[in-house]
Amino acid sequence: MRLAELSRRSGVSTATIKYYLREGLLPPGRQVAATSAEYDEEHLRRLRLVRAMIQVGKVPVATVREVLAHADDDSLGRTIRLGAALWALPQVPEPDQDDEYVQTARLEVTKLLDQLGWENAKQLTTLSPAYRSLVVAVAAFRRLGYDWGAELLVPYAELVHRIAVLDLDAMEQYASEAERVEFAVLGAILNEPVLQALHRMAQEEESARRYGFA
């Protein structure tokens, strides 16, 4: 397809597509004449991903380039390739203080991973931003005087593990490795708002079932 059709099918203006091409976020089309190039379904798919990261995820252009470089690096195994792409996305900030609460939180998260038997996640703690986010969040609870720790988190972790199984099953429906990594990146940006909204609606439903509306 030509640029005009790529624009029509993606809903992205030709000016924006040209900008993405210049920035290297989209691979060049196949040159068919001095002033026109031919694009295919892969361009369309990549364009949708770039737009999702920039418009929905508010990811900076330089970060998009980094995420895509990891996603396209087929010298990496799938777990690290997925991880590298996802870890390049903007993350929660590091703990600004390494106080007793952060230290206790780190111990509690380790205890949690042991109780769950998440041996792989344990090996990823030095790399994974998710591990650091969890420590920060548990420390925030503890700093407020709430006794949150491994015991309370186990049933939550078991349920989110079942959600992760659904995520990976959905990803595996895609035929190519490139599509699978793109789906994972898109999921990280779009799926979390879906889950958060569903969770709040479920709380409202459950609250009304238990206590009524009165």
CB atoms within 10 A of CB 10: 19
- Contact between 124 and 162 under an 8 Å Cβ cutoff? The reply is no
Q: Contact between 42 and a second copy (CB under 8 A)? A: no
Window contacting a second copy (CB under 8 A); options: 14-22, 25-33, 66-74, 121-129: 121-129
Q: Contact between 214 and a second copy (CB under 8 A)? A: yes
9 contacts: CB under 8 Å, gap ≥ 6: 1, 44
Residue closer to a second copy (CB basis): 29 or 51 = 51
The least distance separating a second copy from the CB of residue 73, rounded to whole angstroms, comes to: 14
The least distance separating a second copy from the CB of residue 27, rounded to whole angstroms, comes to: 19
Binding a second copy (rule: CB under 8 A), the pick from 67, 84, 153, 185 is 153
Burial readout 36-52 (b: 16 or more C-beta within 10 A, e: otherwise): eeebeeebbbbbbbbbb
The least distance separating a second copy from the CB of residue 121, rounded to whole angstroms, comes to: 4
Q: Contact between 209 and a second copy (CB under 8 A)? A: yes
Residue closer to a second copy (CB basis): 35 or 147 = 147
* Residue located via tokens 């690290």: 80
# binding residues, a second copy (CB under 8 A): 78
- Contact between 36 and 25 under an 8 Å Cβ cutoff? The reply is no
